[in-house]
Amino acid sequence: MEPIDQELEEGELELPSQPMSLNMGPSHPAMHGTVRIVMELSGETITKADVQIGYLHRGFEKMCERGNWTQVFPYVDRCNYASPMLNNVGFALAVEKLLGVTVPERCQYYRVVLGELARIADHLTSQGAMAMELGAFTPMLWFIKGREMIYDIMEEETGARLTHSFGRVGGMAKPPSDHFKPMVAQVLPRVLSILGEAEALLLQNRIFMDRLQGVGKISAADAIALGWTGPCLRATGVPYDVRKAHPYLVYDRLAFDIPVGQEGDNWDRFMVRIEEIRQSVRIIEQALEQMADQGPVNVDDPRIVLPPKDEVYSTIEGTIQHFKIVMEGIKVPAGEAYGYTEGCNGELGFYLVSDGSGTPYRVRIRPPCFAITAGLGGLVTGLMIPDVVPTFGSLNMIGGECDH
Amino acid sequence: MSRKLIEILKERFGAEVLETKSEHGDETAVVEARAWGKVAKFLREDPRCEMDMMVDLCAVDYPNREPRFEVVMHLHSIRLNHRLRLKARVGDSEGDHAELESVTSVWSGANWFERETFDMMGIVFTGHPDLRRILMYPEFVGHPLRKDYPADRIQPLVPFREGYEKLPPFDHFEGMSFGRQVFRSGKVD
Amino acid sequence: MPTFKLDGREIPFEKGDTIIRAAHRMGIDIPHYCWHPGLSVAANCRMCLVEIAPPPGQRPMQLDILEWDAEKHDYVVAKKPKLQPACQIAVAENMEVKSESSPEVEKARSQVQELLLLNHPVDCPICDQAGECRLQDYWLEHQGTKKRMRDEPVHKPKAVVFGPTIVYDAERCIVCTRCVRFSAEIAKDPVLDERQRGNLTEIVVSPGRLLDHDYTLMTEHVCPVGALTSSDFRFKARVWFLRSARTLCMGCATGCNAYLDYDPRTMTPHRHRPRENMAVNQYWMCDEGMLSYTRVTGDRLLEARIAGRPSTFEAALAEVKRLFAGVPKESIACVLSAQHSYESNFALVELASKFIGTTALFTSGKPKGKRDDILIHEDKNPNTLGVKKLAPSARPFDQLLEGLLTGTYTHVIALGTDLPGQPELLEAPLSRAAAIVTMASHDGPFVRRASVALPASTWAETEGTYINSRGMAQRSERAIDPKGESRPAWELVALVGRTLGYATEWKKLKAVRREMEPEASAPADRPVGA
């Protein structure tokens, strides 16, 4: 039998001396969504990183130019699929800004509560996923357990766990259900206790701490210049939160703190998100208390809001109203507006241009992830390959949003 | 609050500020395309403006207008907490000569936003360090967000990328060969 | 020009104008149902009520009314201004009219609208008018309230057949009498009228008659609601899916301006309706013209044919080359068609005179037909004057037949398929021809006798200029993609020219137009040379 290395020439097995390129993703367990990072390595240290996105590009902005304004809601659901309710509310607020209408107070509280629930769910998911990527599988199950409780509320209220399409211009698809308040009030303490248990598993864990602390640091000035917002910016110590800086809905009536970090590293980003969950719980508790049990949810304008179904079937007025809104769409006056809210990853902006017809002329989404992911390349340069995983995880890049 | 910004801009740049308006609580200033970089730098550095964050940059296509594209930038100041929408108009009716100075040197975050605007609308940012497509693949033909790009257009098939960013560890003669099928690059007749 | 004030805006007017007409001319819409700019005033819908300030020194016109006082829980006596219909009041200099700026007017409109919808059936989902219905538009604009009446609405006859083209639904009807007035005033056939009174009123056809004059489809077109529907368009398409192209009617030499509504998804035309042009057809069109869109899809020549058998384009052109090889130019005759556009005829004239060098030009087209004093012209060809202008020396078709019989001409290149004259008289001369090449959009007498027939696009599939009986050059837009293998006729002429070895290099309509004289190539719905 011939030896297998018979034809091997000398030197072929030597390690290459030039920098090695390594391709991480687009299909990689740690690249949530689908992102590709092409890295140039010197040993195990990353000397250059090119982050390539677009694998989840679905032409969101182009699609929006084809339907009417209401038909955008299912699309925004699928932009940030970890917290679709916040996107729904953000888009509805932007269109309402352009229309010049304000929804009734009850609806504003409703939107706040649903939005903050979505924020909690999002933070739980993203931090759970990050922990899992670092080998901590059990805490992930804990986090997901908490998230599922919130998804149950969402399902009860909207009919769907994930893609609710629940927002409407000028209100919500349905008023809050009768048992909405007790349901939320019951779930919140359980979520908090689950969070406490998961924290106990992670925050004392040497491996977890070592892989987060001091890794993926960014200065406040750099973060601002990159356009970072949300928890990632606050982790660098900048207390910028759209809910405080430019209050919308009823956030100015609710007391909550903005958690900030100091170092701007992965640990700070993790801790800011964990603390934000607690703040969101605070917000929800106050909002539930202040929210009226009765009263209208939708604005009283036949040009914007659909009539009740029984009227559509039995009266000509209802039929006409339904027909006009469904077939021609809500007529948004010509103009432009930039509506921005605090999404779970930062400032979620919608820049809308209307030509006065029932179809949007241009819907521009400003996804918070896009600016944050833009900074990823710089962040991991100089780190080691395994550091990419927690750094990427702590940024919480959401593919659907980042890639439009 | 940010109406003051418009006054400052008008005072500093005079006729180069083509148009200003404020609607729905948003302040807008349209500036000459030539002055784009200059205005951006001023807004970033002037202590009264201190627009340290570039929130968003995109473009809107108006095929019947000349210049055809509006490049729209949203700025924000963290400390002074004010906002401004800055616009410039570029490009002829065919969509050519849409060029604008890059502001990546002013805000590093503009890098990807400008790449996206180039990708989607075909606006060339001069002085951009790395202007390539970002959401679309390199072989994509056209710019999808232009109004004259039909939503149902079918793109040509991309030929196999021979040698394109092929990474050394994965070539067929390297690494461990077991359990891996070797796909020879190149066309199948 | 004298002016009056409407909502504070100065509006110029001409002597004898009503408020609504002066506003309409300025592009301001005062809501209305029964008023139509081309018809007499009925003032029965009460939608156009406006408030008119009294002349200086006079008391305002006011009405005593009873108003519900919620606090006293009783009616109290109040006054409100007397509103007047804008469609009937003649404008006077410096008159002050409040339309949108008056809360009373807004209230009145809302209430008129509510009354009109009182007995209206819930028909929008099955109504052809939905999407372009005044009731829908004005409800959203001026009413926006829900139904208050809980009684059973009045029921009236539905789907009443008025004639071969029109179906009437009395429940949807608001009795604006536009159709009645149209039939009497424009079509000059007072065949419609009202019957009964109050909320039982309905439109009826005169006993013993049908609604069967030449303009019946116009009654459907003037109907502001879905009461009259055309049996041709009924349940065929939903209007919000349709797109419109600005076309011309090809039915006769009048050249009525029209819109061709087509479905862009299937590229099917669905209806032809008038487009306002005061110099040509005003607001109207005849039935034949409105139904002429069916010719776009019906009876088409969609593939090349050699001696009546389908073939490929290449084979057909090769056959043309074979047939015309070595033929002396004196025996080639070219036939222009008054059915085809100025551009296509221009291309053929170029081919004949500049390239082939023959002076044997003839004209063809449809034979003369019915005429009236309203719109219908006896000449059934849309471009007779265009052909005459292009080739003043072109001879009538009979002379070609004579030439063929005597053997002067043996080879014919023609546009179109329609031929004037008796079909049995055509047989002998046409069978004497050695070769006939025709470029036609439809099957017809010429195509059936042609050695080679090439498929041309219809007017709906290509742009073109046509000169109508009054010498106005008008342009018709392209609506749909060419069907089958058809191509614009001028392109076919260029193709035939190239096959015969000539430099007919036009690839685009622009190139043809560039070679045409500037006068005819830049018409904007106005008389040539005017």
**Touch between A and B (at least 3 CB pairs under 8 Å):** yes
- C275 touches C266 (CB < 8 A): no
> Could you please report the per-residue DSSP string of B16-81?
GEEEEEEETTEEEEEE-GGGHHHHHHHHHH-TTT---EEEEEEEEE-TTSSS-EEEEEEEE-TTT-
User: In Å, how far is B52's CA from the nearest CA of chain A?
Assistant: 6
Distance from CA of A375 to the nearest CA of B (A): 8
- Using CA of residue C523, residue C524, residue C525, residue C529, what is the dihedral sign? negative
Residues pairing with B59 in the sheet: B71
Q: Do A317 and C130 touch (CB under 8 A)?
A: no
Point out the residue among A38, A62, A340 whose CB comes nearest to the CB of B144. A62
Q: Beta strand pairing status for B26-31 and C526-527?
A: unpaired
Contact call for residues C255 and C249 (beta carbons, < 8 A): yes
Dihedrals phi, psi of C21, to nearest 5 degrees: -70, -45
Q: Which residue of B has its CA nearest to A247?
A: B81
Q: What are phi and psi of A177, to 5 degrees?
A: -70, 165
**What is the C-alpha to C-alpha distance for residues C276 and C524, in angstroms, rounded to an integer?**
14
What are the backbone angles phi and psi of residue A296, rounded to the nearest 5°? Answer: -70, 150
Cβ proximity of A403 and A56 under 8 Å: yes
The answer to whether B30 contacts chain A (CB < 8 Å) is no
d(CA A268, CA A388): 16
Query: Which residues between 67 and 106 in chain B have a beta carbon less than 8 angstroms from any beta carbon of chain A?
Result: 72, 74, 78, 81, 85
Distance from C-alpha of A86 to C-alpha of A340, rounded to nearest angstrom = 11
Q: Does B14 touch chain A (CB under 8 A)?
A: no
Q: Judge contact between A377 and A50, C-beta under 8 A.
A: yes
Mutate which of A315, A328, A330 to test chain C, going by most C C-beta atoms within 10 A?
A: A315
Angstroms from A358 CA to nearest CA on chain C: 12
Q: Is A324 within 8 Å of C135 when comparing Cβ atoms?
A: no
Of B26, B54, B170, which is closest to A338 when you measure between CB atoms? B26
Neighbouring residues of C185: CB distance < 8 A, sequence distance ≥ 6: C39, C40
Residues of B in contact with A402 (CB under 8 A): none
pLDDT band, residue B187 (cuts 50/70/90): very low
Nearby residues of C240 by Cβ (< 8 Å), 6 or more positions away: A327, A328, C131
Interface residue B25 vs chain A (CB under 8 A): yes
Q: Is the confidence at residue B186, as pLDDT, over 60? A: no
Which residues fall within 8 angstroms of residue B106, CB to CB, at 6 or more apart?
Answer: B37, B40, B41, B44, B54
**Rounded distance, CA C390 to CA C528, Å?**
13
How many residues belong to chain B? 189
Chain A interface mutation, best of C136, C240, C241, C242, highest count of A Cβ atoms under 10 Å: C136
Minimal Cβ distance to A323: which of C121, C124, C144: C124
Q: Which of C121, C136, C240 sits opposite A320 (nearest CB)?
A: C136
Contact A320 C135 (CB under 8 A): yes
Q: What is the pLDDT of residue B161?
A: 65
- Helix/strand/coil (H/E/C) assignment for every residue in chain A: CCCCCCCCCCCCCCCCCCCEEEEECCCCCCCCCCCEEEEEEECCEEEEEEEECCCCCCCHHHHHCCCCHHHHHHHHHCCCCCCHHHHHHHHHHHHHHHHCCCCCHHHHHHHHHHHHHHHHHHHHHHHHHHHHHCCCHHHHHHHHHHHHHHHHHHHHHHCCCCCCCCEECCEECCCCCCCHHHHHHHHHHHHHHHHHHHHHHHCCCHHHHHHHCCCCCCCHHHHHHCCCCHHHHHCCCCCCCHHHHCCCCCHHHCCCCCCCCCCCCHHHHHHHHHHHHHHHHHHHHHHHHHCCCCCCCCCCCCCCCCCCHHHHHHCHHHHHHHHHHHHHCCCCCCEEEEEEEEECCEEEEEEEEECCCCCCCEEEEECHHHHHHHCHHHHHCCCEHHHHHHHHHHHCCCHHHHCC
Closest alpha carbon to B60 in B102, B30, B103, B21: B30
A interface with C, Cβ–Cβ < 8 A, is 301-303, 307, 311, 313-321, 323-324, 327-328
pLDDT at B71: 95
Q: Distance (Å) from the C-alpha of residue A312 to the closest C-alpha of chain C? A: 9
Q: How close is the nearest chain A Cα to the Cα of C136, in Å?
A: 6
The minimal CB distance from B144 to the residues A22, A59, A227 is found for A59
Distance CA(B63)–CA(C281), nearest Å, equals 34
- Rounded-to-integer distance, Cα C349 and Cα C383, Å: 15
Distance from CA of B116 to the nearest CA of A (A): 10
C473: which strand partners?
A: C467, C526
What is the chain B residue with the closest CA to A240? B78
Per-residue H/E/C for C100-155: CCCHHHHHHHHHHHHHHCCCCCCCHHHCCCCCCCHHHHHHHHHHCCCCCCCCCCCC
Q: Do chains B and C have 3 or more beta-carbon pairs under 8 angstroms?
A: no
Chain C nearest CA to A295, separation (Å): 19
Yes or no, beta carbons of A351 and B58 under 8 Å apart: yes
How confident is the prediction for chain B on average, in pLDDT?
83
Question: Does any CB of chain A come closer than 8 Å to the CB of residue B140?
Answer: no
Neighbouring chains of C at 3+ CB pairs under 8 Å are A
Q: Which residue of B has its CA nearest to A377?
A: B112
Peptide bond into B67 cis (omega under 30): yes
Question: Could B151 and A63 be called an inter-chain contact, meaning their C-beta atoms sit closer than 8 Å?
Answer: yes
Q: Structure tokens of C311?
A: 């073939």
Number of A/C CB contacts below 8 angstroms equals 52
Using the beta-carbon criterion (under 8 Å), do A321 and C140 form an inter-chain contact? yes
Across the interface, which of A20, A63, A353 has its CB nearest the CB of B168? A20
The beta-carbon neighbor of C124 closest among A302, A320, A328 is: A320
Q: Are A166 and A177 in contact (CB under 8 A)?
A: no
Beta bridge partners of A339: A350
Residue (of A124, A61, A109) closest to A344 by Cα position: A124
**Residue of C242, C502, C468 whose CA lies nearest to C347:** C502
Beta-ladder partners of B73: B57, B86
Q: How far apart are CA C258 and CA C249, in angstroms?
A: 6
The chains found to touch A (3+ Cβ pairs under 8 angstroms) are B, C
CA C373 distance to own-chain centroid:
18
Q: Which member of A316, A321, A324 has the closest CB to residue C120?
A: A316
Residue (of C222, C225, C218, C265) closest to C124 by Cα position: C225
- Reduced to 3 states (helix: H, G, I; strand: E, B; else coil), residue C481 is coil
Concatenated DSSP letters of C36-73: -TTS-----S-TTEEEEPPPTTSPPPEEEEEEEETTTT
Q: What does the buried/exposed string (b/e) look like for A106-132 if buried means 16 or more CB atoms within 10 Å of the residue's CB?
A: bbbbbbbbbbbbbbbbbbbbbbbbbbb
Question: Can you name the residues that pair with C79 across neighbouring β-strands?
Answer: C64
User: Which residues on B lie below 8 Å from A403 (Cβ)?
Assistant: 135
Length of chain A: 404
Q: What distance in Å separates the CA atoms of residue A48 and residue A379, rounded to the nearest whole number?
A: 10
DSSP at C351: I
* Inter-chain touch A22–B167, beta carbons under 8 Å: yes
- pLDDT single digits (tens) C121-169: 999 999 999 999 999 999 999 998 999 988 899 999 999 999 999 999 9
Q: Which chain A residue lies closest to C134 (C-alpha atoms)?
A: A320
What pLDDT shows up at residue C334? Answer: 92
Chain A residue numbers touching C140 (CB-CB < 8 A): 302-303, 320-321, 324
Nearest by CB: B55 against A38, A52, A366: A366
Q: Counting Cβ atoms within 10 Å, is residue B50 exposed (0-12), middle (13-18) or buried (19+)? A: middle
Distance, in Å, from the CA atom of A180 to the CA atom of A161, rounded to the nearest integer, reads 15
pLDDT at residue C35, as a whole number: 95
> HSE-up of A170 (CA within 13 Å, CB side)?
19
CB contact C119 to A (< 8 Å): no
Cα distance between residue C234 and residue C243, in whole Å:
17
Under an 8 A CB cutoff, do A302 and C144 touch? yes
- The amino acid at residue A303 is R
In terms of phi and psi (left: phi > 0; alpha: psi -120 to 50; beta: otherwise), the region of C167 is: beta
Cβ–Cβ gap B74/A20 under 8 Å = no
- In tens digits, what is the pLDDT along chain C, a chain of 530 residues? 889 999 999 999 998 899 999 999 999 999 999 999 999 999 999 999 999 999 888 888 899 989 889 899 999 999 999 999 999 999 998 899 999 999 999 999 999 999 999 999 999 999 999 999 999 999 999 998 999 988 899 999 999 999 999 999 999 999 999 999 999 999 999 999 999 988 899 999 999 999 999 999 999 999 999 999 999 999 999 998 899 999 999 999 999 999 999 998 888 999 999 999 999 999 999 999 999 999 998 889 999 999 889 999 999 999 999 998 888 888 899 999 999 999 999 999 989 988 888 888 999 988 889 999 999 999 999 999 999 998 888 888 888 888 888 888 889 999 988 888 777 778 888 888 889 999 999 988 888 889 999 999 999 999 999 999 998 999 999 999 999 999 999 999 999 999 988 888 777 777 777 777 655 544 444 443 33
Residue positions counted in chain C = 530
Contacts of B23 in chain A (CB under 8 A): 335-337
Q: Which residues of B touch A361 (CB under 8 A)?
A: 60
Question: Is residue C497 classed as helix, strand or coil in its secondary structure?
Answer: helix
The predicted structure's pLDDT at residue A11? 52
> pLDDT below 50 — which residues of chain A?
none
User: What residues pair up with A351 in beta bridges, in sequence order?
Assistant: A338, A364
Best C147, C152, C172 member to test A by mutation, with max A CBs in 10 Å, is C147
Backbone angles phi, psi at B109, to 5 degrees: -70, -15
All chains having 3 or more CB pairs closer than 8 angstroms to chain B: A
**Residues C510, C511, C512, C513, Cα dihedral to 10°:** 50
How many C-beta neighbours within 10 Å does residue B12 have? 16
State pLDDT tens for residues B5-40.
888 888 888 888 898 988 888 899 999 999 999 999
